[in-house]
Structure 1
Amino acid sequence: MPAETPPAGNPARKRGRPTEAERVQRRDDILDAAVRLLLADGFGGVTFDDIGAEARVTKRTIYAHFATRTEVFLAAVERLRERTLALPGDHVTLLDLATAIVTGLHSDEAVGLHRLMISSARDFPELSAAFYADGPERYIAALRERLDPASASAAEALFTLLLGEPHRRRLLGLAPAPTDAQASAHAATTLRLLGLD
């Protein structure tokens, strides 16, 4: 089997069993390549051969991480959620979490994945259900956990307003991703509107 060519900017991969860090990096390289291709060509237009060529790995390497394109897409959604919700420090406030959600879900990657899901929903209904369960439902659950028990029922309304019209404008390509200051202001306004500040 020919040796894999490392992605541009990555050091050459050594022979033998990869370390855990190398496995994580390789998985990220595959997901990065897959997201680029999926956003450019749509869910039905991307094969594992395409992803392998873009990530500069063999198809066998992809299969070591993912069995299907559905798994690749959902792994990208999961990775985005984990990165969005991975807030540093022990004293994360509701505003910190709300700001992270605005920043993460209004990002180019999140908006692209959301557009892709909307365009693919009719042809891939199971994927839509999995996307919702692993995306919006998990963000709402994270908000619910952070809210005072008396306000926990507001989690869905809070999530909805954190996206709101700015997110619709993002989906339609009418606005750029918010700056950190804009994301924080949007989150603060939303919390204030719901009496959660």
Structure 2
Amino acid sequence: MSDISSSAPRKRGRPTADEREERRDQILDAAVALFVSSGYGEATVDEIAAASRVTKRTIYTYFGDKAEVFTAAIERFRSRALADLETEAETLQDLAARVVFVLHSDDAVGLHRLMIGESAQFPNLAQRFYDSGPQGYIALLEQHLSHRGNAPEAATESEALFGLLLGEPHRRRLLGLAPAPTREEARDYAVRITTLLGHSETAPEMT
């Protein structure tokens, strides 16, 4: 029996917003898989187009060049991870636990390893990775600390907190010496770090 769906004609006309978003995700999913498996330098726009089943023109229309695809993937990762975050509603320990859980995950660690390996050859890309990734989390921590009344010290403290939330556990993750933490393990670690810095608030469990 033939596959009816594969022989059905594609719809013509301008795609809807949902269709555009679905296609965008399709391209980014394929690109991340290629970047991690082949390396950023080796992966080509042609390969990304073939893997995501779109044309090169579609990729250029949606993103621009390959560097824009990579940056968009990093930004999407961060926005999805913290999509339902309400800065004023969550406690600092809630936010810290999310950061630990997200950045110690397999996906985040894979992208981090990739960028470390490619940074010497692509320094501009490394800067964009930092701006879209780590710097974004630091800014979020700074915003939260400012809301707590620590505005003068928030910039310095947010960088220190971010560094501690990664710490040696993240180094072990990069080296493949430890598995990704569970949500409970991420919260336990975040509570220890925030308490060390003098933020010993009690917070509800993450959902």
TM-score, length-scaled by structure 2: 0.85
Distance 1:112 1:13 in 2: 35
Which residue type is aligned with residue 198 of structure 2?
Answer: G
Which residue type is aligned with residue 84 of structure 1?
Answer: A
Distance 1:25 1:97 in 2: 28
Which residue type is aligned with residue 149 of structure 1?
Answer: G
Distance 1:139 1:169 in 2: 20
Aligned 1:47-196 pairs, distance under 5 A: 47-88=44-85, 91-147=89-145, 148-150=148-150, 151-152=153-154, 153-196=156-199
SS in 1 for 2:41: helix
Deviation at 1:87, TM superposition (A): 2.8
Whether 1:42 aligns to 2:53 is no
2:24 to 10, 19, 27: 27
Which residue type is aligned with residue 167 of structure 2?
Answer: G
Higher relative contact order (CA 8 A, sep 6+): 2
Which residue type is aligned with residue 94 of structure 1?
Answer: L
Change (3 A) 1:13 1:158: farther
SS in 2 for 1:149: coil
Instruction: Specify the alignment match of 1:9 in structure 2.
Output: none
Q: Which moved more, 1:85-94 or 1:50-59?
A: 85-94
Contact 1:80 1:104 in 2 (8 A): no
CA-atom RMSD, angstroms?
1.9
Deviation at 1:88, TM superposition (A): 4.6
Which residue type is aligned with residue 155 of structure 1?
Answer: S
Change (3 A) 1:13 1:31: farther
Aligned length: 188
Per-residue CA deviations over 1:40-65 (Å, capped at 9, x if unaligned) read: 00011111111112112222221121
Contact 1:87 1:97 in 2 (8 A): no
**Structure 1 residue runs without a partner (length 5+):** 7-11
Which residue type is aligned with residue 70 of structure 1?
Answer: A
Which residue type is aligned with residue 168 of structure 2?
Answer: E
**Structure 2 residue runs without a partner (length 5+):** 201-207
Distance 1:133 1:115 in 2: 16
SS in 2 for 1:44: coil
Which residue type is aligned with residue 129 of structure 1?
Answer: Q
Distance 2:112 2:97 in 1: 19
Deviation at 1:122, TM superposition (A): 0.7
Percent identity over paired residues = 56
Distance 1:162 1:87 in 2: 21
Change (3 A) 1:183 1:13: farther
SS in 2 for 1:79: helix
Deviation at 1:84, TM superposition (A): 2.3
